Amino acid sequence: MKYILEGLEKAFESRARLGIMSVLMVNDWVEFTEMKEALGMSDGNVASHIQALEKLGYVHVRKEFRGKKPVTSYAATLPGKKTFENHLDALEKLINTKD
């Protein structure tokens, strides 16, 4: 019981970041507009949370042009996927812990 919270990743405490990583875990690449719509978040919220996850090395950001239109897409990195899986495992252990 002493180390019950040890496996939880602080970066995923935010509801927005938890949502972003959840979307990225089941998709190879997700475009900015898809992410924003899937999570019901504003442009600024998506951008700031993605930036924080990118700094940690959990998300890869790809910027490209389609014609003259800029398109930004996101994918979970391998370390990001592993850390998120560990976080989910820790949550499951927490839920299943009996007094």
- The structure's pTM equals 0.89
Between 26-30, 43-47, 93-97, the lowest mean confidence (pLDDT) is in 93-97
Q: What is the CATH number of domain 10-93?
A: 1.10.10.10
Confidence of residue 2 (pLDDT cuts 50, 70, 90): low
Strand 59-66's sheet: what is its strand order?
A: 30-31, 69-76, 59-66
Q: Where in the chain are the domains?
A: 10-93
52 dihedral zone (left: phi>0; alpha: psi -120 to 50; beta): alpha
